[in-house]
Amino acid sequence: MDKTTQGVEWPTLLLLAATYTAWGIGTTALYPLSPLAAILLTGLAIAQFSSLQHEILHGHPFRSRPLNETLAFPALSLTVPYGRFRDTHLAHHHDPILTDPYDDPESNYCDPVVWATLPAPAKAAMRLNNTLLGRITLGPILGTLLWLKSEALLLWHDAPGTRRDWALHAGGLALVALWLTLAPMPWWAYLLAAYAGHALLKIRTFLEHRAHKAARARTVIVEDRGPLALLFLNNNLHVVHHMHPQIPWYRLPATYAANRDHYLRRNDGYVYRSYAEVFARYLLRAKDPVPHPLMPAPVLATDPRTDPRTDPAAPIT
């Protein structure tokens, strides 16, 4: 159904209201009763809010972009301005560039030439980050550092829209800071909650895309219908979302079920039955190498210092 023929998407709007409510309870009423439970609830709310921001940047739940983006204004996740998330994610939706460490803003691969120049500790950290356990524990730190490094370079060079988006983000951060000055949850606890929210999102992004010669076969399906599917707003059915980004999250399962064989042919059988299967396979084992397997390996005569390309840094999703 064309988006312009739809009215307000009430499931999205109601879930956003529930998410803000959970975030508010976690940072206020629940914290004096159980700090641990409050941190966990707030972390869940932050992860759910990020999933809802993803819906918003794709044109939900209203037809009005300004109205949608007003809903996403508070900077609950702290480090990723909504405008930068929007622009990098929409660039990522150009399927021919998927997984390219330079052109795909959400790639977790590294150019083999760059990889060959990295010191051993950096390589060890990136290898650990390619296991699911490492992605959940180390990933929020590593991803945030790389993201902020890349954003700092863009800010320094005044890349179009970047300073505007960070200025708006400062306003969203001010709202969160004002709330926390009045709430019983201290900043250290909120930072832990934000870390937990990022860690949960790393489960979704861990294997969303793979290196494959065919662009259509780079995007995963995880046939999970449990709590994580709700937390990720059915983005585990990721190839369906990439093919139909205008479809709201609550219609993705029916769309997939009606055309399952088509989508599995489309992505060359890149499918997992559940997140339990993903954990069992990859908790302690890397799914992919860090250097992109389809990019040329370094040649001895190559001096990477003369390579004009920028350092690839993948942002948080």
- Tell me what the mean pLDDT of segment 161-177 comes to: 97
Burial class, 214, CB count within 10 angstroms (exposed 0-12 / middle 13-18 / buried 19+): exposed
- Enumerate residues 6+ apart whose C-beta is below 8 A from 80: 50, 147, 315, 316
Give pLDDT tens digits for 17-54: 999 999 999 999 999 999 999 999 999 999 999 999 99
Give pLDDT tens digits for 194-209: 999 999 999 999 999 9
Q: What is the pLDDT, as a whole number, of residue 300?
A: 56
CB 26 within 8 A of CB 176: no
Q: What's the pTM value of the predicted model, to 2 decimals?
A: 0.91
CB 248 within 8 A of CB 11: yes
CB 293 within 8 A of CB 211: yes
Q: Which residues pair with 221 in a beta bridge?
A: 271
Q: What is the pLDDT, as a whole number, of residue 316?
A: 35
Q: What is the pLDDT, as a whole number, of residue 298?
A: 82
Burial class, 24, CB count within 10 angstroms (exposed 0-12 / middle 13-18 / buried 19+): middle
Closest residue by Cα to residue 45 from 155, 201, 203: 201
CB 292 within 8 A of CB 110: yes
Give pLDDT tens digits for 3-12: 433 589 999 9
DSSP string, 135-186: HHHTHHHHHHHHHHHHHHHHHHTT-TTHHHHHHHHHHHHHHHHHHHHHSSS-
